[in-house]
């Protein structure tokens, strides 16, 4: 079911939050002195996240988004999904370029190729057409953007490098907008054909 897919994606995204805190160059840092009281409701009581791991995760996600959206732009039967796909290509290409420039200044090495899961997702989508493609593509985009929102929120709230943190905060509203755009399509697709194994490479275990 789609609810299980969303919970799985959210849990995966939260794994970035358990990494050791890192400074601008990826070195471990301390965010709170021993014995210091955490501010109720604030972020002082939350563990810091790794800026370098965030950048690597965001880069991997961005590469996958452009690749998968290109397939969507070519194969989607629904005109709105074609428009959405082009928007994703434009926005994520721009974000990827910004992240590469930022990472270069910070000495962070980013992935330059799709990981195995993204390759499988693309292969799966490329083998579909018509309504089957639109359903699978919509669900895959929903899960991907749920994951991205959680990842960017973690960095925007608990990142250590001010520049990386600021970039995440500045980019987050665009990703949330993408999520809002794809959600109705994914919900409609789920209503028409409930998921049994997951969306486009995001299978349940």
Q: Give pLDDT tens digits for 15-28.
A: 433 344 444 444 43
Q: Is the residue at 124 inside a domain?
A: yes
Q: Is the residue at 136 inside a domain?
A: yes
Q: Is the residue at 78 inside a domain?
A: yes
Q: Is the residue at 23 inside a domain?
A: no
Cα–Cα distance for residue pair 40/148, rounded to 1 Å:
27
pTM over 0.95? The answer is no
**What is the predicted pLDDT for the residue at 193?**
81
Cα–Cα distance for residue pair 74/205, rounded to 1 Å:
31
Cα–Cα distance for residue pair 72/74, rounded to 1 Å:
5
Cα–Cα distance for residue pair 12/59, rounded to 1 Å:
16
Q: Is the residue at 80 inside a domain?
A: yes
Q: Is the residue at 127 inside a domain?
A: yes
Q: Is the residue at 30 inside a domain?
A: no
Return the higher-pLDDT residue of 183 and 32. Answer: 183
In angstroms, the Cα distances linking 142 to 22, 31, 49, 81, 173 are: 30, 33, 24, 12, 16
Domain holding 138, by residue range, is 2-17+50-203
User: What is the DSSP annotation of 51-65?
Assistant: HHHHHHHHHHHHHHH
Q: How many domains does the chain have?
A: 1
**What is the predicted pLDDT for the residue at 196?**
57
Cα–Cα distance for residue pair 23/8, rounded to 1 Å:
29
Q: Is the residue at 31 inside a domain?
A: no
- Decide if 114 contacts 64 (C-beta within 8 A): yes
Query: The domain that contains 179 carries what CATH number?
Result: 1.20.1260.10
pLDDT in tens, 131-177: 999 999 999 999 999 999 999 999 999 999 999 999 999 999 999 99
């Amino acid at each position: 079911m789609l609810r299980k897919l969303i919970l799985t994606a959210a849990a995966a995204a939260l794994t970035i939050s358990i990494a050791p805190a890192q400074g601008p160059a990826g070195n471990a840092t301390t965010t709170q002195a021993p014995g210091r009281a955490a501010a109720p409701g604030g972020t002082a009581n939350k563990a810091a996240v790794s800026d370098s791991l965030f950048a690597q995760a965001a880069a991997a996600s961005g590469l996958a988004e452009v690749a998968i959206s290109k397939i969507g732009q070519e194969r989607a039967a629904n005109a709105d999904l074609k428009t959405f796909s082009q928007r994703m290509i434009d926005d994520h290409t721009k974000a990827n370029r910004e992240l590469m420039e930022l990472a270069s200044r910070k000495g962070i090495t980013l992935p330059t190729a799709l990981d195995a899961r993204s390759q499988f997702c693309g292969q799966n989508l490329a083998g579909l057409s018509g309504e089957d493609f639109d359903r699978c593509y919509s669900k895959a985009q929903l899960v991907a953007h749920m994951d991205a929102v959680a990842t960017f929120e973690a960095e925007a709230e608990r990142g250590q490098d001010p520049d990386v943190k600021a970039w995440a905060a500045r980019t987050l509203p665009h990703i949330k907008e993408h999520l809002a755009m794809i959600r109705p399509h994914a919900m409609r697709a789920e209503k028409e054909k409930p998921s049994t194994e997951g969306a486009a490479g995001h299978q349940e275990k």
